[in-house]
Structure 1
């Protein structure tokens, strides 16, 4: 097997994430290329797309949500993801075992009863129109008494593909979470994609990768049986001996290619989608990025690696580096950060960047 160094792994992943060079593809195409974007907070995907696309504007993603070309729902790892309508219909059935394992627990079944009955009630209720989690839980509580409404709502959104409808996550509009059944919202039936196809798409966006990496990304288990049966994969040897799977025609740039400063939003999958995150987050910085409360703040890359976190307040982007930066690195961060601040600033607000 060909030896693949950590540096080469970093550059290959950045290239596939379009973090080495922005691209002209549409926002919808990028969302599909990334096989979804983690989005339990409504607005981070806007920054994730801005960092990868040359001419991205807020209205492009807002339009995809309002015209139902893209939706947000529970998917990989049981977390909310932004996906295209097509991927919603084909990926949700694939991730269903992960979601049910997390939310339809033995305790939930013991307290709430048959999840299939809750799902049936939910569809009848949502047929009248989208509902907030509280409204749904309380309405289910009238049909399944003496059970926590929150538990009932959690079982419902795990058992069924429920999408969060606009104006939630629409830039400049906002709104509370309201659920609709995916099939009714999109006018098509769920139909599971094949696991080999899903794995190939993961490698195209996040590879080269180990089987453990694929499983960490999606939450599914026993994928070694699937990859062992897949033909046409390239098998590489990582610097520390792990077997890496890859697509034969996927980009694997020279390890020496420069990596520009890039800003990643909260919970970006570029830092979450591998069992071994060392390709993009150095071991000494893990605790500073992956916080104990489960929050993964926005981060910035210097020479391809996470070098600190950032936050936006009004029109000001504040950077918190993990260590000392060189003058050229600071200059590049200030230049890119100023552009990001302008992108995120509310209308009429001045924008800028500062380094804490």
Structure 2
């Protein structure tokens, strides 16, 4: 249950929380890569959602000045960053160091997830499965289909899907390159993080260490917010141990929020430029109460079923979705935009496409609404 703050704690309204979170997320202004290299940004942000290949590239294009996709792709090819299932049982792009520590941190959640598939694992010894799966993927990277087929030889009566889930939950399986590289293609092939990185996993960090990092990237935040981000429970004790070194606030619902004393909390009226975000961006997924970014009347508008849309922000808040329609990048606002907001949004879309060439480019003499070399247009979204 979310703890209510005392009435004397300073109030942070939705705009104040929005600007603070955008500042932590590097979305109020792009940070030059000379100040914060790509691997440092991935570390600061505690990883980037990577359910698909391109979202980490779009996430960094929205946050870093001077970012080029080859910078992240090179780090991945050099095994300095990897793709692995961590928070909320979703794929993230992490630094190698975070891969080896954050995965052990969330392992209890992976064990709980495994219980959902126990009916398909009757008679399967999970320790034996983990040992056999490790041997298989460390001998050579395997697709999930190949791994399932090999495990079925040992347990022919088990559910194949459950066997694959069990391997993923029990082992820190990373997706090997060329999967994830910019401009390359490759099916998902898996090996263990330890084998891919050539070093053993580290012990899970103390919860207090991760609380500080979470607040630096997503704060101010409640205990429930962090539990939502991590997919973990029972983090209240870690926050309480840190209480003497943290500051506290309350939101408009009276929920207690924790923060680092020196973390940025900009004026609520600080201008927030438009930003194009990828599907599943952690900005929209890492709080129990998402109203700091998603206006209440737009709740649920960035999803259809279990699939997230690519979104854009105007004045710091969710304002619409964007997509590619053939050679065009289409911006579909949820709200009426001013002429200035439309102009700024087109300029941001053009900048995104220049940073990440290959999608949305079109040949010929025509120009988009912003006068650039891309076809950028506005569409409509049904209510």
TM-score band by shorter chain is over 0.9
1:15-164 pair list within 5 angstroms: 15-24=23-32, 25-105=36-116, 107-108=118-119, 110-111=121-122, 113-164=124-175
CA distance change for structure 1 residues 5 and 159 in 2, over 3 Å: closer, same or farther? same
Partner of 2:17: 9
Gaps of 5+ in 1: none
Offset at 1:314? 5.3
1:355 and 2:383 aligned: no
Once the two structures are superposed, what CA deviation does each residue of 1:80-137 show, in whole Å capped at 9, x if it has no partner? Answer: 1110000000100000111221234362574362211110001111222100000111
Question: Conserved in 2, the CA contact under 8 Å of 1:112 and 1:152?
Answer: no
Query: Judging changes above 3 Å, is the alpha-carbon distance between structure 1 residues 219 and 94 closer, same or farther for their aligned structure 2 residues?
Result: same
Deviates more, 1:112-121 or 1:39-48: 112-121
CA distance in 1, matches of 2:132, 2:29: 48
Q: Out of 24-33 and 305-314, give the one that drifted further.
A: 305-314
Matched residue of 1:177: which SS?
Answer: coil
Select which of 262, 266, 291 maps to 2:279.
266
Q: Which one of 346, 354, 366 corresponds to residue 334 of structure 1?
A: 346
Cα 1:148/1:110, change in 2 over 3 Å: closer
The CA deviation at 1:339 is 1.8
Q: Cα RMSD over matched residues? A: 1.5
For normalisation by structure 2, the TM-score amounts to 0.89
What is the distance in 1 between the residues matched to 2:46 and 2:237?
22
Unpaired stretches in structure 2, ≥5 consecutive residues: 1-8, 364-373
Distance 1:104 1:160, change over 3 A: farther
Residue 6 of structure 2 is matched in structure 1 by none
SS in 2 for 1:127: helix
**Which string of whole-angstrom CA distances, capped at 9 and with x for unpartnered residues, describes residues 52-103 of structure 1?**
0001111111111111000111100111111000000010000011122123
Q: How far off is 1:304 after superposition?
A: 0.5
Q: SS at the partner of 1:61? A: helix
With 250-259 and 149-158 compared, the bigger mean Cα shift is at 149-158
What is the TM-score when the length of structure 1 is the normalising length? 0.96
How far apart in 1 are the matches of 2:69 and 2:115?
Answer: 36
Using the alignment, how far apart are the partners of 1:108 and 1:176 within structure 2? 29
Tell me by how many angstroms 1:315 deviates. Answer: 4.5
Shift of 1:174: 1.3
Task: Give the whole-Å Cα distance in 1 for the aligned partners of 2:119 and 2:271.
Answer: 51
Which SS does the other structure have where 1:2 is aligned? coil
Match of 2:330 among 293, 298, 318: 318
